[in-house]
Structures are given as structure tokens and as C-alpha cells.
Amino acid sequence: MSEFGGYQMDRSRNVYRHNAKPEWGGAVIAWEREGKRGYQFEDGQLRVFASAHYHLLGVIDVSGDRVKKLLSIVDRARPVEPGLGVRSSDAPKLHEQVDHFLRCYPGGFAGDRWRTEHRRPASGDSVKRHRDAAIELAGQELSRARLTATLEDQREVEGVRALCRVLATTDLVSAAQLKQLAAVQPYSCRGLVAALRDLVSGDGLADARVAHWVKALTSAMRRAPVWPLATAPLALLRPHEHVCVQRATFAAQAATMAAQMRPGQTASAPQYARLLAMCERVRECLTESSCPPTDLFDVSDFMTFTLSQPSVEAMTSRRDEESSAD
């Protein structure tokens, strides 16, 4: 934690200034997702920067009043994160999401279009959005037996490299996040691989294993991990039980279900448990609608698709048309 003028805030609420554009004023991070950040500036503009350009913004010391002003701009502008184009009061309902999904994907998760686009290609090589190949690779490269062998042979660095290779085949984790994981010091790799093996083993309470994993990541990286990096290994190794959290999408889904949840910038085990419970409710709704998902990847990809800007606009338009007809 840091303190400016008596105002306590965490690192995600540091105040920044663009090195070449000081006239824009100070800025706070409004959202972070998939290797990009949205910075809310004092001039009222929200500007998006890719991870390669983060270095252009340096942390500055400001008064508490300036911090509060910036945070109030963010609050008034919400939702500012990608994934939901309307305010929570106008958010689509879950049944509307299901209806829109089935209109776009005949046959649901078992239909040819969904399976070809999201699970496994009809022919040719898989790409990063295909889940089945990544799940299979994770099962091979990150199995309990293989991770145990790396620990016994003191080859923990190879275990972390294997994790990086698996994650690099997916669209779950950004290149910037992978770079941070690959930069873990060799002396920190043993604790990280041991925690990853515990996740695979299934021994003990799931909440405790997740907490241990997040703690190990935090220790190894010297910072709290962002959601995708912390939860992608969970989802790949146990896709029927765990889910990869994309912060903006999950915040948007919570809005559709009137859930008082707003995921923090970084992962935490208690909050993950609540987000996972929300996903289970979505899975139950889909199953009750005769559209059972294969696993929680189907659930999270359903959420991402139905809460995208085009989908939200389509559902809003359909709702308006039905209201006019009445």
C-alpha cells in the first residue's frame, strides 16, 4: 500500500503521467485486460495503451484530492472495460444471453460451428482459441508425474518453462504476462512447481490449493498475479472444475446477474471462489436450457461471446423491438 495526502490506495491506483504528454494530466488505471490498459486522464479522456508502451507512463506523487478526483471520473464513466457496452441497469439478462447464443450457434456447444470455432478445427492445426488441444497438451506437459520428476531431479526451471510453453499455445494469457512468468528466478521455481503439482494432485480442499498457488505465484514473481495468469493453469488442468478468469468479462457477467461482485485487478483465492460459483450458476442455467456445456471453458467462452459489444447491441435491439411490438 502507498499513501498520498492521507489517501490509502493499492498499487493498481497509483497515479501516472505520460512522459511526452504532461498536458494530459495525471491518470489512473481504469481497467487491464489481455495485455492492454485503459488509463483515465485528468483531461477527461480514457486512453488505451498496449503493454509495450506502459513504460511511457511514470508514477507521480500527487495529493489525495487529485487521486479522489481521478477515481470519481472512473466511477462516473463505468462501465469502461471492454466486454459490456451498456450500464449494469441495462445489461442483458442471462436468459437473453442463452437465446442470443443459440441463435448464433445452432446446436449450442455440441453444434458444428461452436466446436469448429472454439474446441477443435475440422481440419488443419489448432489455433490459440481452440481449447481441446491446449487441454491435452497441459495434461501431458504438466501432469503430476512429470512435475514430480522435475522436482526430484531438481529441474524446476524446466517445469516453469513447460508451463510457459503450454500457456503460449492459448489466447488466455498475454505475451506481457508470459514474459513476467518466464523471468522468474531459478531459486523461486521449486516452490512454484510444487504448488502447481499440488493443484494437479487434487489432495486437500480446492480453496486451500488455489490459495497456495496464488501465494506461490506472488512470491515467485514478487507481485500479485493478474487473473488470467493465476487461473489459466487451473482451467487447463481441471477444465470441468475450474475456470480461467478474464476480469472484464466476469465483471460484466456479474452485472447481468445482479451480483455485487467486481473482481480486483489481481487474483485472490476468496474472490476466485465467488467467481467460480457464479460460473457454476451459468452452467446450471445453460444445462437447464438443454444446452449443456462440455466444461467451464465453454461457459467462459459463452460469457465472452454473449457479452461482447456486437452481442450486447444485438440483444438490446431485439429487446427494444419486442417492447415496441407490445
Considering the domain architecture, whether residues 132 and 156 belong to the same structural domain is answered as yes
pLDDT at 34: 67
Considering the domain architecture, whether residues 156 and 273 belong to the same structural domain is answered as yes
Position 83 in a domain? no
Domain containing 206 equals 88-325
Last residue of a domain, one of 42, 77, 112: 77
pLDDT at 276: 92
**For residue 176, what are the contacts with CB-CB under 8 A and spacing of at least 6?**
35, 51, 52
Last residue of a domain, one of 77, 111, 143: 77
Position 212 in a domain? yes
Considering the domain architecture, whether residues 103 and 189 belong to the same structural domain is answered as yes
Position 113 in a domain? yes
pTM of this prediction? 0.72
Q: Identify the CA nearest to 237 among candidates 204, 201, 270, 184.
A: 201
pLDDT at 51: 85
CA distance 309 to 326: 26
- pLDDT 10s per residue in the chain (326 long)? 333 222 233 334 688 999 988 888 888 888 777 678 888 888 777 788 888 889 999 988 887 777 777 776 665 544 434 444 445 556 788 999 999 999 999 999 999 999 999 999 888 888 999 999 999 999 999 999 999 999 999 999 999 999 999 999 999 998 888 999 999 999 999 999 999 998 877 666 677 888 899 999 999 999 889 999 999 999 999 999 999 999 989 988 988 886 667 788 889 888 898 999 999 999 999 999 999 999 999 999 999 999 988 898 899 888 888 777 75
How crowded is residue 227: how many other Cβ atoms within 10 Å of its Cβ?
26
pLDDT at 14: 82
How crowded is residue 263: how many other Cβ atoms within 10 Å of its Cβ?
20
How crowded is residue 143: how many other Cβ atoms within 10 Å of its Cβ?
14
Considering the domain architecture, whether residues 151 and 223 belong to the same structural domain is answered as yes
Q: Which long-range CB contacts under 8 A does 128-137 form with residues at least 24 apart? A: 128/169, 128/170, 128/171, 129/171, 131/239, 131/295, 131/297, 131/301, 133/169, 134/166, 134/169, 134/170, 134/236, 135/236, 135/239, 135/297, 137/166, 137/169
Considering the domain architecture, whether residues 144 and 67 belong to the same structural domain is answered as no
Asked if 166 and 137 touch (Cβ cutoff 8 Å), the reply is yes
Going 246 to 252 to 256 to 262, the CA torsion angle's sign is positive
The letter for the amino acid at 35 is G
Helix (H) or strand (E) holding 49: strand 46-50
Considering the domain architecture, whether residues 99 and 68 belong to the same structural domain is answered as no
Residue 25 dihedral angles phi and psi, to the nearest 5° = 85, -170
Last residue of a domain, one of 19, 53, 77: 77
Position 57 in a domain? yes
Position 82 in a domain? no
The letter for the amino acid at 42 is E
Considering the domain architecture, whether residues 28 and 123 belong to the same structural domain is answered as no
Considering the domain architecture, whether residues 161 and 216 belong to the same structural domain is answered as yes
If you write DSSP's letter for every residue of 80-147 in order, what string do you get? -STT--S-GGGPPPHHHHHHHHHHHSTTGGGSHHHIIIII--SSS---TT-HHHHHHHHHHHT-HHHH
Position 34 in a domain? yes
Considering the domain architecture, whether residues 56 and 189 belong to the same structural domain is answered as no
Considering the domain architecture, whether residues 312 and 252 belong to the same structural domain is answered as yes
